[in-house]
Structure 1
Amino acid sequence: MSKVCEICGKHPVAGRSISHSHRVSNRVFRPNIQKMTIKDSKGHVRKANVCTTCLKSGKVERA
């Protein structure tokens, strides 16, 4: 499954994890993507990968 939100375009971002002893390792911040049935702008019902931030803010109309 794609890790990109089809509504806002949010995608995985690379960063660093720093431990208490300040050892640094690479990590990835992944958005919480859910596969939802939505109505798009033309009124068609389809499935889309949507982040939970868009769901909570009401940017998506559920079908």
Structure 2
Amino acid sequence: MAQVCDLCGKGPQFGNNISHAHNVSRRRWNVNLRPVKAKTEGGAKRIRVCTSCIKSGKVVKA
């Protein structure tokens, strides 16, 4: 399942792990997603939303 917010479309960010010896390997920071039962135009639906959308009030809980 994709790590993407259903409301804002925020996805994972990519970067590097850098050790003390400067060994570099790729890593990713996933989005903090929560399943929420939200009101939509078709009724209540379970969507996966990031916590920043929940905090800012972009999602209306059913």
TM-score range, shorter-chain basis? Answer: 0.7 to 0.9
Looking at structure 1, the residues matched to 19 and 4 of structure 2 have their Cα atoms a distance apart, in angstroms, of 28
How far 1:11 sits from its partner (Å)?
1.0
What are the equivalent positions in structure 2 for 1:40-55 lying under 5 Å apart? Answer: 40=40, 42=41, 44-55=43-54
Consecutive unaligned residues in structure 1, runs of 5 or more: none
1:20 aligns with 2:20: yes
Q: May I ask how many residue pairs the two structures share in their alignment?
A: 62
How far 1:19 sits from its partner (Å)?
2.4
The secondary structure found in structure 2 opposite 1:15 is strand
How far 1:50 sits from its partner (Å)?
0.3
- TM-score, length-scaled by structure 2: 0.85
Looking at structure 2, the residues matched to 47 and 2 of structure 1 have their Cα atoms a distance apart, in angstroms, of 16
**Could you list the runs of 4 or more consecutive aligned residues of structure 1 that deviate by over 6 angstroms after TM superposition?**
none
- How much identity, in percent, do the aligned residues show? 45
Deviations 1:17-38 (A, max 9, x none): 2223322111011001111100
Consecutive unaligned residues in structure 2, runs of 5 or more: none
Contact 1:35 1:50 (C-alpha < 8 Å) held by counterparts: yes
